[in-house]
Structure 1
């Protein structure tokens, strides 16, 4: 009970300021290919990747994930340990943070004592190893040893055991014959102290039994073993070291499990019994060409963490035959660009620097999420297309996808297979030209987007014809010159980030040196706004987005702007953009002043999703006057406050968010409006008492309320009882979920949400209710019935 009380109190603190529990609205999509550590506990194997964990039941083969959605921090994990005495998993981080996972992964306690210890340098707080003994957890760090009481869930003493009480790196500890032994780095040797000594915080109570650098020390039954930095394994008897063997490479992990010593090298795992007899081995091979990182044993099998294949399981009789244990997930946590549509998600991992330098070249594949399964396509299957960035899905042929390479051109994929790489030789794309270096080829493609006619528009950096169109049906390319605005394409402009398709032939482009560019491809006129005279806070624009009112929202490295008058931009001799001013405690304040904005997306209700470099993601009302949410690592499952990209599935309203530490999604509840009311429906229907979804005031919590989906863009919906009495009413663009009016019934894009209350604010009684839907543009109507049982 004490554990649960502590957890609940901390959860309330960490989520303060949030009006509701969001966990059921979030999903995490983390990579489990690279394993940092594995540990055994209660018929399960736990494996830690960069910032997520999964458990594998050795009896049932069931896999469960533990991610930021379940409460992990999202920071970089260094080591894990399962305590069978206390039925909990302890997680150690690079920052010094500790987290304890209780009770079948449902509760997580964050322990921040080391993380927030001001007297210790942040660079020394990394947790290297956990050693459990008699209810105490000995934590090896780069400053010394801290002791944590697993029964009381609180810290005890910290031992600074270097000469003169200095802070030295401790790689591992073990308990043997009443002594605690420490394998020290910093050329500080092997040290020990008597556990019966109540004054171990005094460095003078610690004895150095050997000099040098030691990476591990483990007690195995009645024997004690240590490994030195020179790769020599020693047995320790009466504090004397006897070398037993020298490994070809420095071991990456050393564990004592079930009276066995497990030594993991980059390419081998060795399992020894208590007397140091080799009883089991495993090695990499041509089929599994990966690096081992850690290993443990359970039920006579070896479970090996790898750098690129998840966990490998092997049995003694077949040491070179492996079973892969790997949860569904993308190939990497470092998603750079994402694109959602038609129930699928595409992910790329290439990138370029803030100043548009593609180096170092990224030789990474792509990932596709479809029907809750991931298809990870490696680089060697993508026609050598490096630095893959932006994704454009052909709306007229969703099986055809074009992926920009910020070095090699554009890759065309059909049915998940790479078909052709468009470059300077087989398309209208062009390489930059470096004077005096004719052999330099670099085709720097960034954003691509389809228009309503099926033309794909794409941006090329450092070439004169920076804007190009491609017609997949005719294989025709067209190029449009920016020379009137940018005379020297190579030196006057670093590159282009984003593109939007506007009205009247205008294409909107965000750039590094020239702010926002408007180019009319019908008249071939070009204009831009970039200076302070035009109210731009910076020339460097990172994101643009058009809303349904044809207003252009602009994200720069120093804040947010809006171009309201887009129709006259090209002809305006001195175009300017506007600041969004909001009231904070009655004081006019610029919205997102000086924020580095990384992306902007507009959902089906014209609400704005704005990603930032270090402040998480904001969700604004259509005019920006109301902040519906600000999600950060403190109040949500975001694994990082650095937002790389945002993409919204228009059909489901699910918002996918890519960060530099992983990918998550949030179910916002808003969907794209339909063309007709033919597919409109109500859910859940009927509403039964066990659903407990009626009577809530906050319509932003889509777990509650009754939803009517499949609405068109401009509708009026009346809810009446069976006698025709009006119960509730909502209209598109008027009754918005984001409104401060706290409506009982609101419409968000193609979805309406009703909290089950009538006009007087009372929850309605059991009965049949009618939804009278009228399209205000086409005059189409539809009547739906809902049964409520209370």
Structure 2
């Protein structure tokens, strides 16, 4: 009944809105290894990672995930709380956002009352703790305390309880004997006020019990306890503090569950009964789980402890010796940097460099591992197993042996993986790779390998920054390396810091994004007489010297993303012959006005799908899906209208076989099932599904798919008597064009309608496929039952 009341009231509250569930087309691939907080309720244990949540049902061991796919924001979670009374999970964020997740409901209610409050600095809006009392939640924040009414789903008063009514950081509150107590930082101590006082917004009604920095306060039956930042736990009695225990490490989490007091430090979990007798103590199992604890909760039999590296560890309450690791299948981290999709999976690395190809940013060069999604199973290789390779930043899979993968290190060289196992780290001692060559002739033991790719002959091409020979080929069959310089364009070894993208066209020309200053460089070894051409100047119509993304489409047109917009080189075949080469912007019409597509946008990646459409990622405007010529925006995904956890896109990779687009953002990895698949060379394996089309199938919306067709195909659908029902052609009836029969790369979509735009009757229908290039034909049968 409570939930029904909440849903009704929420419709009239202006600062609340429901998020959409996107599970039909999207999938989240968030990491659940680093747990920020655990909570308990509804006979479940909830665990929050950086921006996603999972629940554990102890009775069935079922794990359920709550992510941006279900409507979460994707922002960084700071705390969670479950209300048994109202059957809902409350989620607090570092930026002040609140969200409410209802049990057995697809709705997530977003509450922006704090985040939109103009009188509070953005740095002070962090939500630190939720404390429930009657139908209210006292929200501890970095500015004070806000009150939220769970029955009415509306904010009440906000208490600025610092001296003179200033904003101070409140870490936790509790209610004990008609008083609300607040544990405060900044020397503001432990404060309290009567809950019956109707004027708690007046700071003078708050009494300071003691000064100091307090991180937690909790009531347990007839006892009140507080934790200070000097690792001491106190019992509070009539404003008198009695020290109860000095911990080896600072308590990180402090709560009461089932009348037991739980104190969590990075290495221990202490559970006390109502007499402060130690009921249980969990000690970190460093032999099997080298990590740190973050928070803990209990049920009648087990302790559930959140960790930084292993999700939740479950152990017996009265015999906490053996641990069970619990979390959903997931990648290692929520900071994917580079992707490489395969059929039924994707490889992920987490190394970083900044805009100027500096790997020492954000604590780098980073010691992070590798993740590989293989048919719904995540295979994670930690840093300890990657042979010391740091700042792993780019991935190439051998097209002739998909079990052989090469991963670039922007510090250590090139890592080879065979059958999921790192086997060789190539550096200057065992390969043609070179360490940094600085202008003062100082050679630094720092090998910055960036973008790599395989050519049609199986040669692996690598790029390196701050060396004289920036591009190299590696022949895997004889272990032979060859080196080439780009110094006719680049000014000296230090002239270029790195290469983000490299692609190879049908003429064997290598196209590379060349650092911050040299735009795009084309290179062809030309039988021993190398050809090099640069495209980076204003005279060539480049909007900026920093090219950040490249893609070669199915018409051999080169799409170039830059720090300040998009360009296309329509004729790539004569790049070395044309002395006055220029690239073009794409002009679109918007509201009757001619505009440049993606004007001044920082383009982070470009990928081409099976229908020659373009997926374009940006640094702060989300993800664009454009028609093959760029004239039509099919989708523009942002955090507001999709499950993207961030509008900052780092990388995109497409599984052309299954039509899945993987999207790496600064806050995690998601995928979108676009349905667009790559075309095949023949019609041999073409098939249609569902087949038969049963009465329960919504043929108009979900459509019949005709899969594994060739690139240039004509399709006719007729009834059994030969009457034409629908017709389409690859380069005419493209998807999203409103035709009854649309073709998207290797897949055609039929909405079940005939030429009169009516849904067809029950019967058998013939699908006649004709390849317009090879004249190959094939006939399929589809049975429709209505």
Which range, TM-score by smaller chain?
over 0.9
Residue 481 of structure 1 deviates from its aligned partner by 1.6
Residue 344 of structure 1 deviates from its aligned partner by 2.1
Q: 1:8 to 1:469 in 2, by over 3 A?
A: farther
Residue 300 of structure 1 deviates from its aligned partner by 2.2
Matches within 5 A, 1:41-60: 41-60=41-60
Which residue of the partner structure matches residue 586 of structure 1? Answer: 592
Matched, 1:524 2:530: yes
Equivalent-residue separation in structure 1 for 2:5 and 2:708 (angstroms): 48
Equivalent-residue separation in structure 2 for 1:504 and 1:253 (angstroms): 62
Equivalent-residue separation in structure 1 for 2:773 and 2:498 (angstroms): 42
SS at match of 2:714: strand
Matched, 1:761 2:751: no
Which residue of the partner structure matches residue 276 of structure 2? Answer: 276
Name which of 462, 468, 472 aligns with 1:464: 468
Q: 1:322 to 1:428 in 2, by over 3 A?
A: same
Q: Is the 8 A contact 1:232 1:244 kept in 2?
A: yes
Residue 676 of structure 1 deviates from its aligned partner by 1.2
Q: Is the 8 A contact 1:39 1:296 kept in 2?
A: yes
Which residue of the partner structure matches residue 507 of structure 1? Answer: 510
SS at match of 1:320: coil
Which residue of the partner structure matches residue 436 of structure 2? Answer: 432
Residue 234 of structure 1 deviates from its aligned partner by 1.0
Matches within 5 A, 1:291-330: 291-330=292-331
SS at match of 2:448: strand
Equivalent-residue separation in structure 2 for 1:297 and 1:34 (angstroms): 19
Equivalent-residue separation in structure 2 for 1:12 and 1:547 (angstroms): 45
Equivalent-residue separation in structure 2 for 1:427 and 1:80 (angstroms): 51
Matched, 1:569 2:565: no
Q: Is the 8 A contact 1:252 1:294 kept in 2?
A: yes
SS at match of 1:204: helix
Residue 760 of structure 1 deviates from its aligned partner by 1.6
Q: Is the 8 A contact 2:10 2:153 kept in 1?
A: no
Superposed CA deviations along residues 387-411 of structure 1, whole A, max 9, x for unmatched, are 1111000111101111111111111
Matches within 5 A, 1:586-625: 586-625=592-631
Which residue of the partner structure matches residue 178 of structure 2? Answer: 178
Which residue of the partner structure matches residue 700 of structure 1? Answer: none
Q: Is the 8 A contact 1:10 1:109 kept in 2?
A: no
SS at match of 2:444: coil
Matched, 1:369 2:373: yes
Equivalent-residue separation in structure 2 for 1:471 and 1:105 (angstroms): 56
Q: Is the 8 A contact 1:290 1:307 kept in 2?
A: yes
SS at match of 2:539: helix
SS at match of 1:73: coil
Matches within 5 A, 1:63-78: 63-78=63-78
Superposed CA deviations along residues 358-395 of structure 1, whole A, max 9, x for unmatched, are 21211111000001010110112111111111100011
Which residue of the partner structure matches residue 420 of structure 1? Answer: 424
Q: 1:500 to 1:732 in 2, by over 3 A?
A: same
Q: 1:582 to 1:402 in 2, by over 3 A?
A: same
Equivalent-residue separation in structure 1 for 2:457 and 2:612 (angstroms): 23
SS at match of 1:695: helix
Question: How many equivalent pairs are there?
Answer: 776
Name which of 497, 500, 503 aligns with 2:500: 497
Superposed CA deviations along residues 135-158 of structure 1, whole A, max 9, x for unmatched, are 111100011111111111111111
Equivalent-residue separation in structure 2 for 1:501 and 1:162 (angstroms): 63
Which residue of the partner structure matches residue 555 of structure 1? Answer: 561
SS at match of 1:633: coil
Which residue of the partner structure matches residue 397 of structure 2? Answer: 393
Q: Which moved more, 1:628-637 or 1:207-216?
A: 207-216
Alignment RMSD: 1.7
Equivalent-residue separation in structure 1 for 2:12 and 2:398 (angstroms): 49
Equivalent-residue separation in structure 2 for 1:783 and 1:21 (angstroms): 39
Which residue of the partner structure matches residue 648 of structure 1? Answer: 654
Q: Which moved more, 1:28-37 or 1:571-580?
A: 571-580
Q: Is the 8 A contact 1:14 1:635 kept in 2?
A: no
SS at match of 2:116: coil
SS at match of 1:346: strand
Equivalent-residue separation in structure 1 for 2:17 and 2:530 (angstroms): 54
Residue 356 of structure 1 deviates from its aligned partner by 0.9
Structure 2: tracts of 5 or more residues without a match: none
Equivalent-residue separation in structure 2 for 1:147 and 1:350 (angstroms): 42
SS at match of 1:690: coil
Which residue of the partner structure matches residue 699 of structure 1? Answer: none
Residue 320 of structure 1 deviates from its aligned partner by 2.3
Q: 1:39 to 1:8 in 2, by over 3 A?
A: same
Residue 317 of structure 1 deviates from its aligned partner by 4.2
Which residue of the partner structure matches residue 479 of structure 1? Answer: 483
Superposed CA deviations along residues 725-765 of structure 1, whole A, max 9, x for unmatched, are 111111111111133xx111110000001111111211111
Equivalent-residue separation in structure 2 for 1:5 and 1:147 (angstroms): 21
Matches within 5 A, 1:25-174: 25-104=25-104, 106-174=106-174
After TM superposition, the score normalised by the length of structure 1 is 0.96
Superposed CA deviations along residues 8-62 of structure 1, whole A, max 9, x for unmatched, are 899999799xxx9853100000001100000110210000000000000011111
Residue 198 of structure 1 deviates from its aligned partner by 1.2
Matched, 1:441 2:445: yes
Which residue of the partner structure matches residue 627 of structure 1? Answer: 633
Q: 1:5 to 1:471 in 2, by over 3 A?
A: farther
Which residue of the partner structure matches residue 710 of structure 1? Answer: 708
Q: Is the 8 A contact 2:21 2:69 kept in 1?
A: no
Equivalent-residue separation in structure 1 for 2:651 and 2:9 (angstroms): 36
Q: Is the 8 A contact 1:14 1:634 kept in 2?
A: no
Structure 1: tracts of 5 or more residues without a match: 697-703
Q: Is the 8 A contact 1:15 1:635 kept in 2?
A: no
Name which of 654, 666, 669 aligns with 1:660: 666
SS at match of 1:711: coil
Q: 1:539 to 1:551 in 2, by over 3 A?
A: same
Residue 170 of structure 1 deviates from its aligned partner by 0.7
Residue 464 of structure 1 deviates from its aligned partner by 2.1
Q: Is the 8 A contact 1:6 1:109 kept in 2?
A: no
Which residue of the partner structure matches residue 674 of structure 1? Answer: 680
Q: 1:545 to 1:10 in 2, by over 3 A?
A: farther
SS at match of 1:123: helix
SS at match of 1:764: coil
Matches within 5 A, 1:176-325: 176-286=176-286, 287-325=288-326
Equivalent-residue separation in structure 1 for 2:33 and 2:105 (angstroms): 21
Residue 604 of structure 1 deviates from its aligned partner by 0.5
Residue 635 of structure 1 deviates from its aligned partner by 0.4
